[in-house]
Each structure stands twice: as structure tokens, then as C-alpha cells.
Amino acid sequence: MTVLVLGASGATGRRVVEQLLGRGLSVRAMVRSPELFLNSIGEHERLSVIHASILELSDEALVQHLCSCTAVISCLGHTLSFKGGIWTTQVACYRGDEACVRFD
Ligand SMILES: NC(=O)c1ccc[n+]([C@@H]2O[C@H](COP(=O)([O-])OP(=O)(O)OC[C@H]3O[C@@H](n4cnc5c(N)ncnc54)[C@H](OP(=O)(O)O)[C@@H]3O)[C@@H](O)[C@H]2O)c1
């Protein structure tokens, strides 16, 4: 079973990824900064990384990623920063959650 984790680099996402790997599942982690993510979590034979921002993926690409997995867990969060305001992250959460619902 392969699980796609959105927001895998966040506080919740990292714990979810670790727990899934610990339970023997394969994980595809969608992150905006693969190097930072892998430095923090470490390489694993059942962990693959998709370098993408959910806001910039086309619908087709998003569907392709969703269809390549058995389940999707969204750990997208709202981070206030100068790079992207709360609106941007709300759109990302909405898009990720909508995609999960449609996938279901
Ligand atoms: N932490 C808790 O104790 C807790 C408890 C209950 C529920 N929750 C819920 O869990 C969710 C995540 O919380 P968190 O504390 O883990 O948040 P977080 O540490 O801020 O992580 C947010 C994640 O969302 C990603 N993200 C934000 N904007 C994005 C965008 N535009 N495109 C792609 N990825 C984007 C971040 O990626 P980057 O690393 O690239 O920024 C990061 O991986 C929230 O909905 C929160 O309400 C958290």
C-alpha cells in the first residue's frame, strides 16, 4: 500500500510519514523543498519524494499523483509568512482536501 502525504514537511506531516514508514507502508511525500525534507527525516527505501507545490500543479498532474497511490493524507497547514500569506495556504489546503475528497 502506498500513501501520498501532502504537507509532508510540516510538523504533523513529518510525524505521519514516520508512522506510515514504521508500519511498513510505502510513502510518496509531496514537498516544496525536497532537500530540507530529506535532511530532516532521512532517506528510506519506501519513501519517495515528489517535488511540487500543490498550488502550481495542473489538475492532470494532481490526478496522476493521486491515482498512483492507495490513500492520500493531507497535512497541509496555514503558515503566516512574508513568502505567502494565509490566503495562499488556505487555497493550497482547500485544493488538497478537495482532491482527496474527489479521489475518495
Ligand atoms: N501541529 C499540531 O499540533 C496540530 C494538531 C491538530 C491539527 N493540526 C492540523 O494539521 C495541519 C498541519 O499543521 P502543522 O502544525 O503540521 O503545520 P505546519 O508545520 O505549518 O506544516 C504545514 C505544511 O503545509 C505545507 N504547505 C503550506 N503551504 C503550502 C503550499 N502553498 N503548497 C504546498 N505545501 C504547502 C508546508 O510546506 P513547506 O514546508 O514547504 O512550507 C508544510 O509541509 C493543520 O491543518 C493543523 O490545523 C495540527
Question: Helix crossing, 11-22 with 34-41: angle to 10°?
Answer: 60
> Can you tell me the mean pLDDT for 60-88?
74
DSSP states of 34-57 as a string? Answer: HHHHHHHH---TTEEEEE--TTTS
Domain boundaries, the chain: 2-103
Task: Give the global pTM.
Answer: 0.85
Task: From 5, 27, 75, 100, give the residue whose CB has the most ligand 1 atoms within 8 Å, as the site to mutate.
Answer: 75
Amino acid at 27: V
pLDDT top residue among 59 and 48: 48
> Can you tell me the mean pLDDT for 28-37?
96
> Can you tell me the mean pLDDT for 49-55?
91
103: number of Cβ within 10 Å: 15
Q: Is the CB of 92 under 6 A from ligand 1?
A: yes
Q: Is the CB of 11 under 6 A from ligand 1?
A: yes
Ligand 1 center to 4 CA (angstroms): 15
Give the burial class of 63: count Cβ atoms within 10 A of its Cβ; 0-12 exposed, 13-18 middle, 19 or more buried: middle
> Can you tell me the mean pLDDT for 19-31?
97
Q: Are 6 and 73 contacting, i.e. CB atoms less than 8 angstroms apart?
A: yes
Give the span between the Cα atoms of 35 and 1, in whole angstroms: 25
Q: Tell me the pLDDT band of 62, cut-offs 50, 70 and 90.
A: confident
The CATH H-level (homologous superfamily) assignment of domain 2-103 is: NAD(P)-binding Rossmann-like Domain (3.40.50.720)
